[in-house]
Structure 1
Amino acid sequence: MAKRVLIADDALFMRMKLKRIVEGLGYQVVGEAANGRDAVEQYLNLRPDLVLMDITMPDMDGIAALKTIRTSDSTASVVMVTAMGQEAYVMDAIRAGAKDYVIKPFEEERVKAVLQRLVG
């Protein structure tokens, strides 16, 4: 059975690009969220094996969403997605429980390595 992934990014084209990479690697994208609040709600409903979460999103940013998810499920595997130059935010996310991070623009090999390491 394919591992289940939730993608959260406010940019539709980024979600589409990431979905194409993730599905191309044999994983199932079970949900997509355009903001942190929706990501939390989908996580609680779908219980995916892994979340790819943008740091900068409207309504609730990725770090707040990460903290909310980890409060309800301390074992959640959340990988932050970030643009270059946001290293301070990445460190905040790691301290809040993120398992890893991926930098935009996405490199398929990096996404593959993170997915394989965290969910097999």
Structure 2
Amino acid sequence: MDVLITDDSGFMRDLLREILEEEHNIVGEAENGVEAVELYQQEQPDIAFMDIVMPIKDGIEATDEITDLDPDATVVMCTSVEQAEQMKDSIKAGADGYITKPFQKESVLEEVNSITAG
């Protein structure tokens, strides 16, 4: 499965890549929502991981843009526990699910499997 990772933290991108790269193909990494939308259009990944809080364009705006471009897009939001209100906005923007930081391999893979299983 082709995966796009978006997070303004290089450490978080690295962590997510390490969790996912054994089973999935990482097609790109973005530091902000602008880059995420551009990479999504270029790579057409099967699933996009999207941080909520980022500079330039946040994950909610980027998710909204991506799902406008591709209504079938699969987006998983990456959130801190205290961002519950923003998660509601993410779902409205078209997110399919979420994972919480700090990322745990088991929960990340479970979320991917549950979303891709339909």
Q: So what's the TM-score if we normalise by structure 1?
A: 0.95
Q: Gapped runs of 5+ residues in structure 2?
A: none
Once the two structures are superposed, residues 66-111 of structure 1 have per-residue CA deviations (whole angstroms, 9 ceiling, x without a partner) of: 0000010000000000112000001110121100000000111111
Name which of 79, 83, 87 aligns with 1:82.
79
Which of residues 9, 12, 17 is equivalent to 2:10?
A: 12
Partner of 1:107: 104
1:69 equivalent in alignment to 2:66: yes
1:40-86: CA deviations, max 9, x gaps? 00000000000000000111000000000001000000000011200
Q: Which residues of structure 1 form unaligned runs of 5+? A: none
Task: Find the aligned partners of 1:99 and 1:109 in 2 and give their Cα distance.
Answer: 18
3-state SS of paired residue (1:51): strand
RMSD between aligned residues = 0.8
The number of residues matched between the two structures is 117
